[in-house]
Amino acid sequence: MRVCVVGCGAVGSLFAATLAQLDDVEVWAYDLYREHVDAINRDGLRLSGAGEALGRPKATSDPAELPACDFGIVATKAMHTSAAIEATAGAFADGCVATVQNGLGNEEAIAKHTERVIRGTTFPAGKLLEPGHVQWDVKGDTTFGPFEPKPAPLQEIARLAEACTRAGMPTQAIEDARGPQWRKVIFNAATNPVGALTRLTHGRVCEDPELRRLVSGLVDEGKAVAAAQGIVLDADPEDLIDHAAKPEIAYGHKASMLQDVEARRPTEIDYLNGGIVRFGEEHGIPTPLNRAIWALVKGLEQSW
């Protein structure tokens, strides 16, 4: 099996480094950060923290160097999905492409360039410490399922899930992956921007009664939008929020949006709260809190 991870930031590196431990999987990593690519090729891709691994994928910043792959795992920021899959699509002409990204709209972007798409949701998280070295902050499960308009075959989805599980990234293949996806979208949209605006970690947001009440209000709007589409969540996002706030889970974790704000990078707010607002408009569900949070984070970005 040959797998290409497209976008080797924190989450992409978790998949690339762990899958590269398997003798029967050849892993390629595509990323535009040349120092990161050079470090991977020279010293390997190191994970430390919640999990330890040193994988040796073949890394490149040139899509023309990618061989034909059985699977792609797209792990870029959502705003880079279209450019990344357009550049690398030739490697997946006969393969299947999964997204493990945040937000809404990634599958649709991938489907414009590939024929067999996997709807994916992953909860592991980390941060890039230096080129070739990622800190693994949070462990968690991954779910794969067919993207309905251009589905990958379920047996192929199960094949990729089995490899990820053997590599140390527990992954389940299911027939309808919308429930896990929307649970995470609602979780992220309710917590990430609040942390980004206040500069507080997940656990500290949850400790403040007024902030926790705001988080619940954002969750309720997301649930209503999901229900209007007939999507059954696989679990309550509120439970996940409280679980993640435990000291041994993610109390001190800085969400990716907070990391982006601290680095003055564009955030994924358009694909999280912005996505919930857009789907709400399509289905006649009001989302005033998500719209307000969306506007606040966009305003913060403009201040840079």
Report DSSP letters for 173-230, one per residue: E-S--HHHHHHHHHHHHHHHHHHHHHT--HHHHHHSHHHHHHHHHHHHHHHHHHHHTT
Averaged pLDDT of the chain: 96
pLDDT recorded at residue 190: 97
Confidence of residue 138 (pLDDT cuts 50, 70, 90): confident
The predicted-structure confidence for 168-187, as pLDDT tens digits, reads as follows 999 999 999 999 999 999 99
Residues 62-75: what's their mean pLDDT? 98
The predicted-structure confidence for 203-240, as pLDDT tens digits, reads as follows 999 999 999 999 999 999 999 999 999 999 999 999 98
pLDDT recorded at residue 212: 97
Confidence of residue 133 (pLDDT cuts 50, 70, 90): very high
CATH T-level topology, domain 2-173: Rossmann fold (3.40.50)
CATH T-level topology, domain 178-302: N-(1-d-carboxylethyl)-l-norvaline Dehydrogenase; domain 2 (1.10.1040)
Residues identified as active-site: 184
pLDDT recorded at residue 86: 98
Residues 21-49: what's their mean pLDDT? 98
Helix 273-283 to helix 178-198 angle, to the nearest 10 degrees?
Answer: 130
- Does 253 score more than 90 pLDDT? no
The predicted-structure confidence for 274-287, as pLDDT tens digits, reads as follows 999 999 999 999 99
Confidence of residue 299 (pLDDT cuts 50, 70, 90): very high
| 63 contacts 87 by C-beta, under 8 angstroms | yes
Confidence of residue 111 (pLDDT cuts 50, 70, 90): very high
- Cβ-based neighbour number of residue 92 at 10 Å: 25
Q: Which residue has the higher pLDDT, 18 or 249?
A: 18
Instruction: Specify the pTM.
Output: 0.92
Residues 22-47: what's their mean pLDDT? 98
- Does 42 score more than 90 pLDDT? yes
Q: Where are the domains of the chain?
A: 2-173, 178-302
